[in-house]
Amino acid sequence: MTYGVNAPLGLQAASYGISAPWTGGFQVFPITANYGTSLFLGDLVTFTNGQLVRYNTSGSSTIPAGVFWGCTFTDPSGIVQIQKYWPAAQAVKVGTTPVANVIVDPNTVFSIQSSAAFAWSNLDKNFDVTFATAGNPSTGESGMMLDYSSVGTTATLPLHAIAFDPIPGNAPAVGGTSVSFANILVKLNNTTINAGSTGV
C-alpha cells in the first residue's frame, strides 16, 4: 500500500480480526452479462434488483454487500478468464454467467487510503468512501478511498476506522496531528448482512 501521496488501491484485505492472517475467504455472486460499469479489486459492491453492481459514491443511502475481489467469466471464444477486475460491458459466451468474488465477512480487516490528512482523533469513527480516482485497468486495482469528509458516528456509514496501518511512517507520532493520505485499517460496518454500529 502507498501512503503520503494520492495513490489509492481501494480496500485491501489485511487480516482476519485484529491479528489472524486473512485466509482469502469470499462468497461468489453472479454478475449481469454485459454489466456496463467496471468493477475493480477493492471496490465496494452492492445489489440492485438482485444483481451485483458497484456501490454508489459517497453520500448514497445504498448499503454495500462487501468488497469485490476479482471475477471469473467465459469470453465469447469459450476461454475461461480469471481476472482482478470486471471490464465495463464485458461480453461473455452465450449461456454462461460471469461470477464475482466478494468479501462479505464483517471480521475482515482492510487497509484503505484516506482522501485527506487523518488524525488520531478520527479512529473509532465511521466513514463512507469516494471514487475520486478511477480504477486502473492495467493492474485491476480500485481507485476507491476512505472519504475523510464523511467522518461521523452514524451507524449507517459503511466503514469503521480501527487503527493506522502499521507501515513505518504511516501514523503520526504520539501527540502529533495527522498524516496526509494515510492508510487506515477498517472493518465493514453497515452491510446487507451486518447491521452497523455507532462510532465513538
Q: How far apart are CA 34 and CA 36, in angstroms?
A: 6
Mean pLDDT of 65-89: 96
Q: Does residue 59 have a pLDDT over 60?
A: no
Supply the DSSP string of 87-143, one letter for each residue: -TT----TT---EEEEE--TTEEEEEEBSS-EEGGGTT-EEEEE--S--BTTTTB--
pTM: 0.91
Each residue's pLDDT tens digit, 140-188: 999 999 999 999 998 989 999 999 998 887 877 666 677 788 999 999 9
Confidence grade of residue 87 (pLDDT, cut at 50, 70, 90) = very high
Q: How far apart are CA 16 and CA 51, in angstroms?
A: 27
Span of 20-34, 46-60, 113-127, 155-169 with lowest mean pLDDT: 46-60
CA angle 150, 109, 167 (to 5 degrees): 85
- Phi and psi for 9 in degrees, rounded to 5? -130, 20
Query: Taking phi first (over 0 means left), then psi (-120 to 50 degrees means alpha), and beta for anything else, what does residue 15 get?
Result: beta
Q: Does residue 48 have a pLDDT over 80?
A: yes
pLDDT value, residue 195: 75
And the C-alpha cell for 53?
453492481
Mean pLDDT of 20-47: 90
pLDDT value, residue 168: 80
Strand partners, 54: 45
